[in-house]
Amino acid sequence: MLAVDHEGGLNLCHRFTGSDMETYGTVDGGIEKQKLARFIEDRADRTDKGCSTCRIRNICAGGCYHESYAHFSDPMKPTYHYCDLMRDWVDFGIGVYGELIAGAPAFFRITSCLGGHSANETLETPEPESRPRRHCG
Ligand code: SF4
């Protein structure tokens, strides 16, 4: 997802708008797809980086581009300064998922079929099994 700045430039995200970081096209000219693809591929390259052995590398992928840019002036550098936080956060999410799938598996069946209904509606429903099943193919 790209973010548009006040001059119509396409930035990696809203945090890059107004920065000195290069843009990846314009609203009028479109996305510079090859340039953007090269950035993403280079950033994903784990050669000689600590990420190559990290257990959450396929989720974190080196962290936030702008965090790297702001902290190291280099959007290519992994965000090593909060790796422990990221691992704790992923562990927490996986733990919650495990508890939900073991204790309330219907939660995932219902939320995947909700369509336009809100998540709150599902959470406030005391007995999800009593709701009519929607088949979402
Ligand atoms: S947590 Fe750190 S080492 Fe692991 S993928 Fe993210 S930036 Fe790389």
Q: How do strand 30-31 and strand 3-4 relate by DSSP bridges?
A: unpaired
Pocket test for ligand 1, best of 57, 76, 77 (most atoms within 8 A of CB): 57
Residues 49-60 have pLDDT tens digits of 999 999 999 999
Residue nearest to atom 8 of ligand 1 (CA): 51
Shortest-distance atom of ligand 1 to CA 46: 8
Q: How far is the CA of 26 from the centre of ligand 1 (A)?
A: 31
Average pLDDT, the chain: 86
Shortest-distance atom of ligand 1 to CA 55: 4
SS (H, E, C) the chain: CCEECCCCEEECCHHHCCCCCCCCEECCCEECHHHHHHHHHHHHCCCCCHHHHCCCHHHHCCCCHHHHHHHHCCCCCCCHHHHHHHHHHHHHHHHHHHHHHHHCCHHHHHHHHCCCCCHHHHHCCCCHHHCCCCCCC
Instruction: State the virtual CA torsion across 40, 41, 43, 44 in degrees, nearest 10.
Output: 110
Average confidence (pLDDT) over 3-30: 97
Residues 62-90 have pLDDT tens digits of 999 999 999 999 999 999 999 999 999 99
- Cα dist from 57 to 37, 51, 63, 80, 93, whole Å: 19, 6, 9, 12, 15
Q: How far is the CA of 78 from the centre of ligand 1 (A)?
A: 7
Lowest average pLDDT, out of 77-81, 94-98, 106-110, 125-129, goes to: 125-129
Write down the pTM of the prediction.
0.71
Model pLDDT, residue 129: 52
For residue 46 and ligand 1, the question of a CB distance below 6 A is answered with: no
Is 44:61 a contact under the CB 8 Å cutoff?
A: yes
